[in-house]
Amino acid sequence: MSQPSSPSSPFQDGFAAVWHEPALLAAELTWRWCFGFSACALAIISGAWFLDSLEVSPADEFLLGTFQSQLLSGAVHHIFRGSLTRLVLEQAALLLGVTLLWCLAATVGRAATLRRLVAMFSADDEPGEMTWQFAPIFVLHLLRAAWSLIALSVATACLITGSAMAGNGRAWLAALFLVFGIGLACWFGAALNWFFGVAPLFCIRNGAPAMDALAQSVDFVSRRGGRLSLLGLGFLPLRLVWLATMMLAILAPLSLAPHLAAGWVLLIMAAIALIYFAGADLLHLARLGAYASLAEDDAHPVPAPEASNPPDPALAPEPALPPEIAPAVDPASGAESSANSDCAGPAVEMQLLSCKWRQRSELDRQG
């Protein structure tokens, strides 16, 4: 199948793929938004379930109705007494369920989009049948989610420890945890998260299992690290500009609060937020298409044209002499005629040398 753009420009290829195949964006939005709405619904149901399980006594209701800060804090403390363990267990179960839901949705959605992208950028006119590779992609997403949670937990622990150290007057330990601890956790988390995100491309393209696809993504970065960095630098300003623009657009409806009901203002802000998420998903899909194009270029590099070697003047045939200089041959004896032999003087030798010099200069210019 022909590529949608020049193979030398993966950045343009990514946007060209989204432009030529609008179904790619539709599939990406479908799985992402289905997961997002489902996760929000589960969080709301879990919160409502927990609040419904709390027991509020008549005394607590009376204290809450006073709207005094001290009485309110006492009532809230009494209501939530003994429910911390149950809250932690419920939130842990919710986090586990949302993580598994994300892995399932991302596996199906990423397999669908990658199959189409790999087929679009394939160098073969008739690409072979590709398998869905659900199992290795699901394993990669599980590892990605687990590593993200580990990095987030380490960063949170460093933040809490650093704050405690700062409160105890240990400034250098606080700086160590707050700067190096959080920085390293975020860096390692982002780096491995990127590798886990690119590895499904090689599951689909090469039919590789999870660990082999991860190793192939590392090799891919080692070979094409420069161009991947340029792609990242190209997409990063677009994402930042899009984020800043839509943040201003989301806050703009607040100026309508004196003229519209709060519900309408929130509805407008939610609609603008959905537009932002759609644009962010489009940029993410275009970047994935750029990676697919670059992976195809890496697997089938274009051979450099061979330089034409000039002819060796030493091996070039001797040019034929002009008829006015060439010696005449007697047809009967095969020897040079006596007339030309008698004329073979300095003038003829000079003409011969001049002819050879001109022909040698011509060969040098051609070389």
- pLDDT in tens for each of the 367 residues of the chain? 444 444 458 999 999 999 999 999 999 999 999 999 999 999 999 999 988 888 888 888 887 788 778 878 888 888 888 788 888 899 999 999 999 999 999 999 999 999 999 999 887 766 666 788 999 999 999 999 999 999 999 999 999 999 988 888 888 888 889 899 999 999 999 999 999 999 999 999 999 999 999 999 999 999 999 999 999 999 999 999 999 999 999 999 999 888 889 999 999 999 999 999 999 999 999 999 999 999 998 887 766 555 555 555 555 455 554 554 445 444 444 444 444 444 445 555 555 555 555 665 565 555 5
List the domain range (segments joined by +) for residue 362. 310-367
Distance of CA 98 to the CA centre of its chain: 25
89 plus 232 within the same structural domain: yes
Domain count, the chain: 2
Say if 220 falls within a structural domain.
yes
User: Are residues 193 and 331 part of one domain?
Assistant: no
295 and 314 share one domain: no
Q: For residue 329, what are the β-bridge partners?
A: 336
Any domain includes 148: yes
Rounded CA separation 190/151 (Å) = 9
**201 and 295 together in one domain:** yes
Q: Looking at the structure, tell me whether residues 286 and 330 fall in a common domain.
A: no
Q: How far is CA 339 from CA 69, 335, 355, in A?
A: 134, 11, 22
Instruction: Please check whether residues 203 and 58 belong to one and the same domain.
Output: yes
**Same-domain check for residues 261 and 358:** no
Whether 4 is covered by a domain: the verdict is no
List Cβ neighbours of 122 (8 Å cut-off, separation of 6 or more): 1, 296
Within 13 A of 360's CA, how many CA atoms are on the CB side? 8
| 239/41 Cα distance (integer angstroms) | 28
